[in-house]
A and B are shown apart, each in its own frame.
Chain A
Amino acid sequence: MAESIKILTGNFDVPGIEQLDVYRKNGGYAGLEKALKQMSPDEIVEEVKKSGVRGRGGAGFPMGMKWGFLAKPEGVPRYLVCNGDESEPGTFKDHYLMMKSPHLLIEGMIISSFALGANTSFIYVRGELMYVINILEKAIAEAKAAGLLGKNILGTGYDLELVVQPGGGAYICGEETALLESLEGKRGNPRNKPPFPAVKGLYQCPTVVNNVESISTTPWIVLNGGEEYAKVGIGRSTGTKLISASGHVKNPGVYEIELGLPVEEFIYSDQYLGGIRDGHGLKAVVAGGSSVPILPKDLILKTAAGEPRLMSYESLSDGGFASGTMLGSGGFIAMDETTCIVRNTWNFSRFYRHESCGQCSPCREGTGWMEKVLYRIEHGKGNERDIDLLVDVAKKIEGNTICPLGDAAAWPVASAIRHFRDEFEWHVKNPEAATKKGAVYQPELSLA
């Protein structure tokens, strides 16, 4: 495949790109100039709609459509809040983007704020990334000194203050209404919806929440037009996507791929992950962050119908929960055959138990139960009923909670059992063998 188009990361390797002058010399802030001087806010919204770009935070909701829902009552301020909480296991792309090219996000924030009519906007970044917050604040100070932020930006009469807000260590604050609560100085408890943030968000005012990567597409879209953006990618999966890859691959890291790239090429081509580490074979993949269903090798490379699986919203979800997964946040975790699926599932369930805010009993109690039972199985104390118990608990959480964290906790467990049930059974039937250090279920042994 030819060198693929880079919409976000094209100049990331230019030395000093985090500095304003270097960023500008490499085409930076040209999108902002065009947006503020040649376009109306509605025209920008129109281009974003035409681009078809979908939210990159995980849910994949069309960004232009979300912008169109923003309520605009007279005399009430509106807010744009950028979601840089990035805490979904497997996901580290926003970390990479903000650290490498802070001005890209800042330019996107100014364009987007102008399009939405916001005069104060926030970038909420997980508190652990304080060094990235410092990078952003330095870049904001530079932009302000150059007249790109603050009062009367580029002499156009448009005013914008941009605030970087640190989180305090809580995955749940990535959920947009929990994030808004947190930004108001409260515990990160998700709100009941409706009302949606577009009507009542930050400080009860109309608010748009978008992911770091989503907002960073706007300079390119403004410069090149929404139609050009929509030509990249495949079908309703337009544009490019940052994929953060981890696990047993030769070249872990962050990649900007054109949507529609075959999964097989992504994993095995030297241009991307370079294959699985020496001497080992692929066993399973979690394709879109820890919340999405895990798939065994066969189903991640090809759909159940035998079609090549592509890195796109539609192709990855082909087959639904029975045989598909989701693109999610683009956190791609590859596991080779030395991986114990039970241990990994227990690890993830411990994460969700730890991160549940505790408001809804199915999530609070259910995540606790799942972790306990999985711990038991992994540590040689499980019984056969435990496997069905897990399926049952997962089912009872799903769809019965205020926010989707409940589902996010249930899916990894349900999918691991769906696709690797024999491995769970081996654990409960052979506790001694299964708890030996480094022991991993081998399918051929189970026949004996």
Chain B
Amino acid sequence: MTETIALTPERLEKAKEIIARYPEGKQKSALLPILHLAQEQHGWVSPETMDFVADLLSIQPVEVYEVATFYTMFHLEPVGKHVIEYCRTGPCCTMGGEEVYAHLKDKLGIEAGETTQDGLFTVKEVECLAACGWGPCFQIREKYYMHLTNDKVDEIIEELSK
């Protein structure tokens, strides 16, 4: 069980470095960065992972739960290998987003919030990603994909399906 919860030795080392950058007694400030680290490793943040993080920071588990549920970047359920988060906000829609996103969902055969049966893709709707003039856009993990068109979406999906 623990290998699906704990951080790898390298990430644990990184977590300790992160904790050390805040003033004495303010280690709770490390919570968001460490949740990101945990999600980077496991793909999502499970209740067990949250307990592990609480332990690491010597805070109550509930302090982690209330934070992980507030911020939309944390996936609280298992997700596909590639999580496609597309911007549904005004400017991206003005730039042609609605059509491109409909094409994306058609192509994968799923709605926003769902995962393909092969577990390869999850599609999520998110709000403005601060790339308005370069829209429509989505992000997959750290990478931004901008100036999207239907053709570009096809290419990206094909590339990631390999």
Q: Which residue numbers of A lie inside 8 Å of B, CB to CB?
A: 77, 86-92, 94-95, 120, 126-131, 134, 161, 163, 165-171, 182-188, 203, 244-248, 252-254, 290, 331, 333, 335, 339, 344, 347-348, 351, 354-355
Instruction: Give the distance in Å from the alpha carbon of A89 to the alpha carbon of B90 in the complex.
Output: 7
Instruction: Give the distance in Å from the alpha carbon of A89 to the alpha carbon of B73 in the complex.
Output: 17
Q: Considering only CB atoms, which chain B residue lies closest to A334 in the complex? A: B94
A283 to chain B, nearest CB (A): 11
Instruction: Give the distance in Å from the alpha carbon of A344 to the alpha carbon of B89 in the complex.
Output: 9
Question: Which A residues touch B95, using CB under 8 A?
Answer: 246-247, 252
Instruction: Give the distance in Å from the alpha carbon of A92 to the alpha carbon of B95 in the complex.
Output: 15
Contacts A244-B133, A252-B134; A127 near B36 (Cβ below 8 A): yes
B73–A248 touching, CB < 8 Å:
no
Question: Which B residues touch A171, using CB under 8 A?
Answer: 127-128
Chief secondary structure at chain A's binding surface = mixed
A128–B29 touching, CB < 8 Å:
no
Identify which of residues 60-111 in chain B touch chain A, using a CB-to-CB cut-off of 8 Å. 63, 66-67, 70-74, 85, 88-91, 93-95
Question: Which A residues touch B66, using CB under 8 A?
Answer: 186-187
Name the residue among B21, B28, B126 with the largest chain A CB count within 10 angstroms. B21
Instruction: Give the distance in Å from the alpha carbon of A348 to the alpha carbon of B107 in the complex.
Output: 27
Instruction: Give the distance in Å from the alpha carbon of A246 to the alpha carbon of B70 in the complex.
Output: 29
B132–A170 touching, CB < 8 Å:
no
Question: Which B residues touch A90, using CB under 8 A?
Answer: 90-91, 128, 132
B14 to chain A, nearest CB (A): 11
Instruction: Give the distance in Å from the alpha carbon of A163 to the alpha carbon of B32 in the complex.
Output: 13
B94–A246 touching, CB < 8 Å:
yes
A344–B134 touching, CB < 8 Å:
no
Question: Which B residues touch A248, using CB under 8 A?
Answer: 94
Q: Considering only CB atoms, which chain B residue lies closest to A173 in the complex? A: B71
Determine whether B12 belongs to the interface, using a CB cutoff of 8 Å to chain A. Answer: no
A-B residue pairs in contact (CB < 8 Å), sample of 9: A89-B91, A90-B91, A92-B132, A128-B139, A185-B31, A246-B133, A252-B134, A331-B91, A333-B90
B26–A203 touching, CB < 8 Å:
yes
In the complex, given contacts A89-B90, A90-B90, A188-B71, what are 17 additional A-B residue pairs having Cβ atoms less than 8 angstroms apart? A89-B128, A89-B132, A90-B132, A92-B131, A95-B131, A127-B71, A129-B130, A168-B32, A168-B73, A169-B126, A187-B67, A187-B70, A244-B133, A246-B95, A333-B90, A351-B128, A355-B127
Determine whether B43 belongs to the interface, using a CB cutoff of 8 Å to chain A. Answer: no
Instruction: Give the distance in Å from the alpha carbon of A127 to the alpha carbon of B126 in the complex.
Output: 13
A203–B23 touching, CB < 8 Å:
yes
Question: Which A residues touch B63, using CB under 8 A?
Answer: 185-186
